[in-house]
């Protein structure tokens, strides 16, 4: 009896997010069946057709590896920049021709516990992807890029930086990142609500503003 996969089961089978399967459906790469309740159902043949060159189990496993594009901005008001990053990364990955997923984060490049970054590192360490693509190096992390690079090498994952030149529009974000570090350490030393903590934060904001 033929097995029918839900979208959750199918996503695990092909090592891709459900959102990726929906996008592939929109692009015409796969056409799932629909239940009476309009739920998607996939057959194994449908899913295997996404990787037509599979000859045996090992080659299936290799071909199911996908690329990951990672995009990040530091704050919500930079959503336009985030959209531009996604467009650049997606265009690059589409030309590459390999199945891919794009992960995005809104948060400081000094925060290493962002949801998207955590997911990316999990995919790398569990060998679910074989390529990571970012627009600029500091879109991945502000400092410690070499550490992420070493993690990728240990797991046979290629990391690609599309634009090797420095992001000239990134000065204000660097200022915000530095201020966030000062704020955290000052709060730990003097308490978040202390007068001295507020004075240190405001003084540093004024100093950075003078350099604009």
Say yes or no to pLDDT of 47 above 60. Answer: yes
Say yes or no to pLDDT of 59 above 50. Answer: no
Active site residue 74: yes
The residue-averaged pLDDT of 52-57 equals 47
- Burial class of 53 by CB neighbour count within 10 A (0 to 12, 13 to 18, 19+): exposed
Tell me the CB-side half-sphere exposure of residue 139, using CA atoms within 13 A.
32
Query: DSSP readout, 8-35?
Result: HHHHHHTT--HHHHHHHHHHTS---EE-
Nearest-angstrom CA–CA distance, 48 and 59: 12
Q: Are 139 and 145 in contact (CB under 8 A)?
A: no
For 159-170, write each residue's pLDDT tens digit.
Answer: 999 997 655 455
Say yes or no to pLDDT of 58 above 50. Answer: no
For 92-120, write each residue's pLDDT tens digit.
Answer: 998 888 888 999 999 887 777 899 999 99
Say yes or no to pLDDT of 132 above 50. Answer: yes
Per-residue pLDDT, 54: 47
For 15-29, write each residue's pLDDT tens digit.
Answer: 788 888 998 898 888
What is the band of 148 on the pLDDT scale with cuts at 50, 70, 90? very high
Q: Which residue(s) pair with 34 in the sheet?
A: 40
Q: Which CATH number fits domain 4-62: 2.60.40.2140, 1.10.3720.10, 1.10.1660.10, 3.40.50.2300?
A: 1.10.1660.10
Percent of the chain surpassing pLDDT 90: 37
The residue-averaged pLDDT of 48-53 equals 70
Q: Are 96 and 162 in contact (CB under 8 A)?
A: no
What is the band of 3 on the pLDDT scale with cuts at 50, 70, 90? confident
Specify the higher pLDDT residue, 176 or 138: 138
Specify the higher pLDDT residue, 100 or 55: 100
Share the mean pLDDT of the chain: 79
For domain 65-161, the CATH class is alpha beta
Catalytic residue among 8, 11, 74, 104: 74
For 189-210, write each residue's pLDDT tens digit.
Answer: 656 556 665 665 566 555 555 5
Domain coordinates in residue numbering, the chain? 4-62, 65-161, 168-210
CATH placement of domain 168-210: 1.10.287
What is the band of 57 on the pLDDT scale with cuts at 50, 70, 90? very low
Per-residue pLDDT, 45: 87
- Burial class of 86 by CB neighbour count within 10 A (0 to 12, 13 to 18, 19+): middle
| C-alpha distances out from residue 55 to 2, 29, 43, 58, Å | 21, 20, 18, 8
For 60-96, write each residue's pLDDT tens digit.
Answer: 444 568 899 999 988 888 889 999 999 999 999 988 8
């Amino acid at each position: 009896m033929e097995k029918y996969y839900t979208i959750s089961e199918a996503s695990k089978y092909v090592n891709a997010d459900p959102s990726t399967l929906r996008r592939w459906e929109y692009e015409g790469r796969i056409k799932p069946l629909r239940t009476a309740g309009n739920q998607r159902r996939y057959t194994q043949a449908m899913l295997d057709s996404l990787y037509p060159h599979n000859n045996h189990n090992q080659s299936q496993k290799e071909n199911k590896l996908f690329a990951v594009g990672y995009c990040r901005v530091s704050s919500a008001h930079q959503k336009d920049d985030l959209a531009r990053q996604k467009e650049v990364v997606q265009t690059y990955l589409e030309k590459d021709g390999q199945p891919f997923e794009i992960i995005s984060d809104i948060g400081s490049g000094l925060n290493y516990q962002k949801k998207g970054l955590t997911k990316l590192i999990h995919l790398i360490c569990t060998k679910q992807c074989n390529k990571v693509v970012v627009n600029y190096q500091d879109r991945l992390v502000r400092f410690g890029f070499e550490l992420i690079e070493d993690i990728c090498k240990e797991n046979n994952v290629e990391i690609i930086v599309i634009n090797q030149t420095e992001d000239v529009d990134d000065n204000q974000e660097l200022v915000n990142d530095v201020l966030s570090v000062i704020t955290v350490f000052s709060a730990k030393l003097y308490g978040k609500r202390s007068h001295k903590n507020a004075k240190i934060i405001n003084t540093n904001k004024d100093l950075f503003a003078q350099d604009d």
